[in-house]
Amino acid sequence: MMMRTVQSRATSGSSSGMTRRLAVISVLGFASGLPFALTDATLQAWLAVAEVDIETIGVFSLLTLPYVLKFIWAPVLDRFVPPLFGRRRAWMLISQLAIIVLLAALAARDPVAEIGVVALIALLLAFASATQDVAVDAFRAESLRPRERGLGAGLSVAGYRIATIVSGAGAFVYADRFGFNAAYGAAAAIMVVGLFASFAAKEPIADPPTGLREAIVEPFRTFFLRRDALAFVALIVLYKLGDAAAGRLSIAFLVRSLEFNLSEIGALYKGLGLLATLLGGVLGGALMIRFGLYRSLFAFALLQTLTNFGFVALSMSEKSLGLLMGVVGLENLSGGMGTAAFVALLIALCDRRYTATQFALLTGLASLGRVFSGPPAGVAVEMAGWTTFFFATVIVSLPVLILLLRMRSALDQLDVTDGEAKAS
């Protein structure tokens, strides 16, 4: 009788601890997702509505560069422990406080009269947001028990996606009524939930690296000693390039060329698009169980390429809500499927000893296409028009299909080794 009571209490305590961890990780996923759109699509819409020229809007896409380069300072978050709250919690709190202050600063600016100041604040905001991503990713990896990882990852992604609704579709609709300054002020207030989650979190027990070589050199050395390391780098950079290029100036396209209003874009392009992305992620994950990593990557990349023709059709037609719904639904469905396979690839490539730094490196590489496609996209639209630009994004998507065909053996091996590093 006493033994059963002890076991019951242990089970109850374990269940309570798991519930708390998952709840905290869900809210931290939301906190990670909230600032991203505010430095990217929502900021692009603000500039478009303020009638900033299209080439400047294209250059503004470079302000998300910290999301690409976060692997550079990720080892700092591994190596150094602030004096209060523990290593992971402290870095989360520091980055979240910075995000709140910077969002409030943006809310007080005029992008026409103070374009340089807005650019600087947005750059700092992206840096703080990328730092939060590194800290939250590391916290999640170290906090979840093995049996909780699948559910924890799913809840974290769900929190992130919900945040993109708030800072994307929600911000568009809110800005349509009250202006973008008010929308950024509201986002600063909402971001406070991240602070509550960081305070409520339990610091994971993990020893920091003992020296600079372990913290900085080893994560990179072990990755680039892998067979086909450079081919994997190319695959990571190219896999979402065509998809990212098509979507890079899509908000400006809908506002300037087709004259959709912010509420329509928020409800259809961002709201419907996000739902389609979530459905695509679930469907893609389910199909991967049957088809494996290589076949899923190839099939979903092909779908992403084909759905870019939808933007070509939009650019050749009059304003049509029905056509927009169809294009947005299919494009985001295929994009969600591609993302599911792509994230599985990144996880498989990570050496479990250096997950935080290597994941930051790989996601940074993956962001190259999204960040650097902006400026040439703006120039291409000015020179050739929207239809030619969107058709070019289809052509840009073709090299990754050829690369996937050449890498089939290496990708099949990842399925077999389950992510173990194979150095040559």
Q: Give residue-wise pLDDT tens across range 262-299.
A: 777 777 766 677 788 777 877 776 777 678 788 989 99
pLDDT at 189: 95
The CATH homologous superfamily for domain 210-419 is MFS general substrate transporter like domains (1.20.1250.20)
Question: What pLDDT sits at residue 382?
Answer: 75
What span, in angstroms and rounded, lies between the C-alpha atoms of 84 and 106?
29
Summarised one tens digit per residue, pLDDT across range 117-165 is 888 899 999 999 999 999 998 887 777 665 565 456 657 777 887 898 8
Instruction: Check pLDDT > 80 for residue 81.
Output: yes
The torsion of the CA quartet 69, 75, 80, 85, rounded to 10 degrees, works out to: 70
Residue 11 CA to residue 402 CA, distance in Å, equals 52
Amino acid 152: pLDDT: 63
Spatial distance between the Cα atoms of 375 and 418, rounded to a whole number of angstroms: 38
Is the predicted pLDDT of residue 378 greater than 60, yes or no?
yes
pLDDT score at 367:
75
Q: Which residues of 110-148 are buried (b: 16+ CB within 10 A; e: fewer)?
A: ebeeebeebbebbbbbbbbbbbbbbbbbbbbbebbeeeb
Q: What pLDDT is attached to residue 417?
A: 52
Cα gap 371→68, rounded to integer Å:
8
Using CA atoms, how far apart are residues 314 and 191, in angstroms rounded to an integer? 36
369 compared with 405, residue with greater pLDDT: 405
The mean pLDDT value for 334-343 works out to: 80
pLDDT at 416: 59
pLDDT of residue 424: 37
User: Does the pLDDT at position 401 exceed 80?
Assistant: yes
pLDDT at 148: 62
Q: Cα-flanking dihedrals φ and ψ of residue 319, to 5°?
A: -60, 125
- Location of structure tokens 């979840």: 144
Q: Classify residue 154 as exposed, middle or buried by CB count within 10 Å of its CB (0-12, 13-18, 19+).
A: middle
Q: Which of 21-25, 126-130, 211-215, 216-220 has the highest mean pLDDT?
A: 126-130
- CATH 1.20.1250.20 residue ranges for the chain: 16-208, 210-419
CATH architecture of 16-208: Up-down Bundle (1.20)
Q: What value does the mean pLDDT of the chain take?
A: 81
pLDDT at 383: 79
